[in-house]
Each structure stands twice: as C-alpha cells, then as structure tokens.
A = this chain, B = another copy of it.
Amino acid sequence: MLKITRKVEYALISLRHLQQKEKGQLSSAKEIADAYLIPQELLAKILQHLSREKIIEAVKGPAGGYKITTDPNTINMTKFFELMEGPMGIMDCSLDTSCDQLNACNIRTPINRINDSIRTMFDKMTLADITY
C-alpha cells in the first residue's frame, strides 16, 4: 500500500551516486551495484532505462560506465516516476484502466482529490530534492 518500487529506489540511489562524482567521471553498473548491494543485472537494466530516457549517458567498453547528463533541478518527480513506472495514480480510475465499481462509485471524487494532492506534492519536487 502506497509503496514506491525498488526500481525507483535503485534509480535514485544511482543518480545520487553519479551526482557526487567529479564532472566527467564514470561509474559502471558493477561499481554501483557493489557499493549498495544491489543485484547487478537488475541495476544494469535500470541504468539502461535511465540512459534510454537521456537522464544519464552511457559509455561502452572497458573503463566505460555512466555519467549524469541532465540537471537534476530540471527533472520533475512526477515525471520521473512515470518515466520509470508508467502512469501514477492511487487508484485505477485515475486513467484508462477502469474498474467494476466505476459507475456506482461513491468515493471517486474524494479519492481523486487525494490523488491530486499526491501528484501536486511530487510536481513541486525535482530530482535535486533527493539527490542533493
């Protein structure tokens, strides 16, 4: 209930790690996995995802790795979550995925209000609030 995923946590840990490096220095998936006891293959996929999304940049080959290329101040947290995990909403009716109760539902409005509050909260945050 109301949990964030490991995928997101591992992404945040990695970004903070990269943040703290000297400009231009690279970190490999292995380096990060070892430092934080994260399964290496799993982390690799997450870093690849961040790379596809242009948040970090990959350098192949030996002595390769990743570096951060986007200013964390410019990355909105709602967007970041949705980049990693897809549409965010505390219940199903918030978007396409409907639910059996939809027509009769008597709590949709208040539940939506709560949903908006959470989104607003993350909308007001950037990645920098976490990685600094």
Interface residues of A (CB under 8 A from B): 1-5, 8-9, 12-13, 16-17, 20, 35-38, 81, 85-86, 88-91, 100-101, 104-107, 110-111, 114, 117-118, 121, 125, 129-131
CA distance A91 to B35 in the complex (A): 20
Query: Which listed residue (B17, B118, B125) contacts A106, Cβ 8 A?
Result: B17
Q: Are A91 and B1 in contact (CB under 8 A)?
A: no
Query: Which listed residue (B91, B110, B118, B125) contacts A130, Cβ 8 A?
Result: B110
Query: Which listed residue (B4, B81, B101, B121) contacts A117, Cβ 8 A?
Result: B121
Q: 8 tightest A-B contacts by CB?
A: A110-B130, A1-B85, A37-B100, A36-B104, A4-B90, A16-B106, A12-B107, A36-B101
Q: Are A88 and B121 in contact (CB under 8 A)?
A: no
Q: Are A81 and B1 in contact (CB under 8 A)?
A: yes
Closest to A85 in B: B1
Given contacts A117-B121, A121-B118, contact A106 B1 (CB under 8 A): no
Using A38-B101, A114-B130 as known contacts, list a sample of 15 further A-B pairs with CB atoms less than 8 Å apart, ordered by residue number in A.
A2-B4, A2-B118, A4-B91, A4-B111, A9-B101, A12-B111, A16-B106, A20-B106, A36-B101, A37-B101, A37-B104, A107-B130, A110-B129, A110-B131, A114-B125
